[in-house]
């Protein structure tokens, strides 16, 4: 599921992807967060097109065996870390596992991509935590 967020009236609010695309291409974009969770191939392609992040870089964040690391390119910084999530199987106990989350950031855009829903990212949306700056917001979601 592909969602976009930005701060409106001091609170984090979801915006339409079309609005996010316009904002990204404007001369002075507001800080924004695009989150892609449980993606299918079409959504990864769309995210790549919107953000100019290569498909290969987005896809490596979806590899369950991906190791945590930080990388720097001319276009963005990449942080990959492993976040906990609750795994439930029929007739079995609940397990808490970890999976990679890839975070790409530049001056005004933070993009997160991950295979599993994580409660604390959902809480950020529910609590409407504003994006004061992309780097500051990174600290809030890690």
Residue-wise pLDDT for 34-59, tens only, equals 999 999 999 999 999 999 999 999 99
Q: How far apart are CA 94 and CA 137, in angstroms?
A: 30
Instruction: Find the Cα–Cα–Cα–Cα dihedral 89, 43, 74, 4, rounded to 10°.
Output: -90
Enter the pTM of the model: 0.91
**Residue 90: predicted pLDDT:** 56
Residue written as token pair 């449980």: 38
Instruction: Find the Cα–Cα–Cα–Cα dihedral 39, 44, 45, 51, rounded to 10°.
Output: 140
pLDDT at 94 over 80: no
Range in 17-26, 80-89, 102-111 with the lowest mean pLDDT: 80-89
In the Cβ-directed half-sphere of 73, how many Cα atoms lie within 13 Å? 11
3-25 pLDDT tens trace: 999 999 999 999 999 999 999 88
DSSP output for 41-100: HHHHHHHHHHH---HHHHHHTT-TTPPPEEEE-SS-EEEEEEEEEEE--TTS--EEEEEE
């Amino acid at each position: 599921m592909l969602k976009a967020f930005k701060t409106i009236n001091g609170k984090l609010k979801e915006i339409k992807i079309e609005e996010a695309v316009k904002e990204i291409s404007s001369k002075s974009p507001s800080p924004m967060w695009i989150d892609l969770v449980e993606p299918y191939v079409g959504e990864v392609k769309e995210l790549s097109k919107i953000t100019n992040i290569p498909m290969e870089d987005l896809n490596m964040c979806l590899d369950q065996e991906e190791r945590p690391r930080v990388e720097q390119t001319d276009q963005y910084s990449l942080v990959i870390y492993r976040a906990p999530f609750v795994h439930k199987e029929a007739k079995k106990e609940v397990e808490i596992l970890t999976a990679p989350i890839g975070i790409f950031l530049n001056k005004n855009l933070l993009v997160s991509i991950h295979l599993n829903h994580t409660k604390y990212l959902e809480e950020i949306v529910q609590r409407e935590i504003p994006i004061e700056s992309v780097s500051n917001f990174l600290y809030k979601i890690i």
